[in-house]
Structure 1
Amino acid sequence: MTISIAIAEKITTLRQVEEKLGLILSGDNQFFTEWMADLPALSEAEQTRLEQVRQNYLYQISDGSLLEETVKMVVLSPLLELAGFYQAPYRFKTEVSVDIVAEGDNDEILRGRIDVLVLQGKLWIVLIESKKTTFDLELAIPQTLAYMAIHPNPEQPLYGMIANGSSYLFVKTLGKQYGISDLFATRSQYFNNLSGVLRILKHLGRIIIES
């Protein structure tokens, strides 16, 4: 799969996503139900492991913001392993890295980076690294959609998870439409937490294999 870095770097807002790529946010509440419906249950062992991941994250973040490699080791890698993505029949492909920039307080420039792993060509795992602070996931949505929009088969449903270690969003594109899930958080114990993230990953993994 060939990705045009120039396109992704120039798409920094949702307005540009709509104007330059022709994508529109779906108004159909049935467009992206995959993150809500028919999610697999987790075993007690999986739930125990996720709680350990959560505790590991809270311990590491207590010293300040986490760099990319720490986020990968502490949070992302355990999630992908529990979802079964390191085993057959799944295959990962590493794509490009792109810088994202946001204006902070006192005219500071906050810089981050997104790395993309593509699973089976249909599930995009997007990790944001922040050099200064925890980036709002909203900053990575336009570039994630830009990657997905220039997929060679845009008429097939594509899915993505955007993560920065503390928070998670899921996105879907199909044709010229896209949808976005609610926000999930590592810190949360009860609602929209790591258990929800893992259940969605398992469900999306099953969908892309079956399709």
Structure 2
Amino acid sequence: MKTLAVTDTITTIAEAEKRFNLTRNQSPDFFTEWYDQLPELNNDDIKNLTTLWQRYIYHRSGGHLLESTVILLLVSPLLTIAGLYDPPFRIKAEESIQIIVADSEETLQGRIDILVLKERLWIIVVESKKTMLSVWSALPQTLAYLMANANQNYPIFAMLTNGDDIVFVKLEVACQVLRKIAVMV
């Protein structure tokens, strides 16, 4: 069996769709989690988000930011505000994954930037890129990482960011055959 790096193998959305038999679902009813029944932001949340934005803009005004800087300035504080560092959640950084590709002699290998778990259930995968790259460049890689989730009985979510843009992704396996993805900006 040949082992390949996800970042070298899955470089386009079309490649991810083909290799993992994914289909896009553009129905507005598919990804309601990103806007439906969300809690109201309180004054502290608004203050923290404003500070986060101002801090990011200050550093970004000096030029492009590396991926690690985007994580420090933006991703980590957002996880804090969302309460994802607190029980019942667990955080794993640079989590190694392997995906055995069906009908193939290939194993794909990679590292998820940040994985948020609730027991064995993957809650969210966070993938970051440096600011000079399009946030969309992280989507093929992220789709591959989502396919490594052993518990595909529940939808799994991802957040992609380069600091300038944030994209939310939902992947759902229906009947263990049809895989759907929706991307909302």
TM-score bracket for this pair, using the shorter chain length: 0.7 to 0.9
CA distance in 1, matches of 2:16, 2:68: 29
Match of 1:67 in 2: 66
RMSD: 2.0
After TM superposition, list the pairs within 5 Å mapping 1:44-193 onto structure 2.
Answer: 44-94=43-93, 95-96=95-96, 115-120=112-117, 121-128=122-129, 130=130, 134-175=132-173, 176-182=179-185
CA distance in 1, matches of 2:6, 2:68: 26
- Write out per-residue CA displacement over residues 124-170 of structure 1, whole angstroms, 9 at most, x where no aligned residue: 11111x3xx52111111111011102321233210000011121000
TM-score, normalised to structure 1, is 0.70
CA contact (8 A) 1:8 1:146 kept: no
CA distance in 1, matches of 2:5, 2:44: 44
TM-score, normalised to structure 2, is 0.79
- Write out per-residue CA displacement over residues 21-72 of structure 1, whole angstroms, 9 at most, x where no aligned residue: 1001013221111101111111111101111111111111111111233222
Q: How many residues align?
A: 160
CA contact (8 A) 1:53 1:75 kept: yes
In structure 2, relative to structure 1, the CA distance for the partners of 1:52 and 1:7 (3 Å cut) is closer
Aligned residue type for 2:79: L
CA distance in 1, matches of 2:127, 2:7: 13
The structure with the greater share of residues assigned to strand is: 2
CA contact (8 A) 2:167 2:183 kept: yes
CA contact (8 A) 1:71 1:164 kept: yes
Long gaps (5+) in structure 1: 98-113, 183-211
Aligned residue type for 1:154: Q
